Amino acid sequence: MIASVSGRVAALGPETAVIEVGGFGVAVMCGPGTLAGLSVGERATLATSLVVREDSLTLFGFGDEDEREVFEQLQKVSGVGPRLAQAALAVHSPDALRRAVAVEDLHALVQVPGIGRKGAQRLVLELKDKLGPPRGSGAGVQSVGADGSIVLPGSIGADWQGQVHQALLGLGWSPREADDAIAAVAGELTGADGETADIAVLLRSALRSLSRA
């Protein structure tokens, strides 16, 4: 098993990062939250999970070992493959998934593209004793203003719409649906007076707006 990769970020795409390791460029499939924390030319270390299929070897990358652990646990559920597990972590943080499973919050689980009510029930049934309780890391937590709008810890980068748009397309939404979700999120944002917005928070808000549509 390849547990991690570390090296200079050679390239970034909508779904992948290329990390230079020992003279080789290793392509790593990453979620939008992980990709948002990487910069071309900078060094990075990613926790990884190698998925082996008859016709392919795919390396998935994560910002920390907790995400990788939940990714691997999700795939033990019947009907859940690596793409669906990655989509779940794009919508919810590891602790948010633990909470949803622990309290049987099916509404939260069906926000993941590709998971319906029966799939959500199956996740609860098969993972209830495996994910464990929330670890209190605070990952994926966002503040909400008195008017219900999202309060981010920093200002919005110029390309946040492009990153969220590409992530939504990768999760199976149409270009029009992605545009509508981005417009909804842009109308909710407040408190942009810091340095960097959390793309993962923006994506989760966009997915919530789609689930309400």
Domain that holds residue 43: 4-62
Residue that is last in its domain, among 62, 79, 99: 62
Is 46 part of any domain?
Answer: yes
pLDDT for the residue numbered 145: 40
Q: What is the pLDDT of residue 181?
A: 84
d(CA 181, CA 146): 22
Per the CB < 8 A criterion, the answer to whether 39 and 71 are in contact is no
The answer to the question of residue 136 being in a domain is no
Within a domain: 39: yes
Q: Angle at CA 98, nearest 5°, toward 94 and 103?
A: 150
Q: CA Rg, the chain, in Å?
A: 17
Residue 43 pLDDT more than 70? yes
For the chain, what percent of residues have pLDDT higher than 70?
A: 80
Residue 138 falls inside a structural domain: no
Number of domains in the chain: 3
Is 52 a member of any domain? Answer: yes
Single-letter code of the amino acid located at 176? R
Which one has a higher pLDDT value, 144 or 69?
69
Check whether residue 152 and residue 205 sit in a common domain: yes
> What's the mean pLDDT in 91-108?
91
- The DSSP symbol for 64 reads S
Question: Does residue 157 carry a pLDDT above 60?
Answer: no
pTM for this one?
0.69
**What digits encode the pLDDT tens for the residues 163-174?**
778 777 776 778
Say whether both 153 and 207 belong to one domain: yes
118 and 179 fall within a common domain: no
58 and 78 co-located in one domain: no
134 lies in some domain = no
Question: Do both 203 and 163 map to the same domain?
Answer: yes
Helix (H) / strand (E) containing 143: strand 143-144
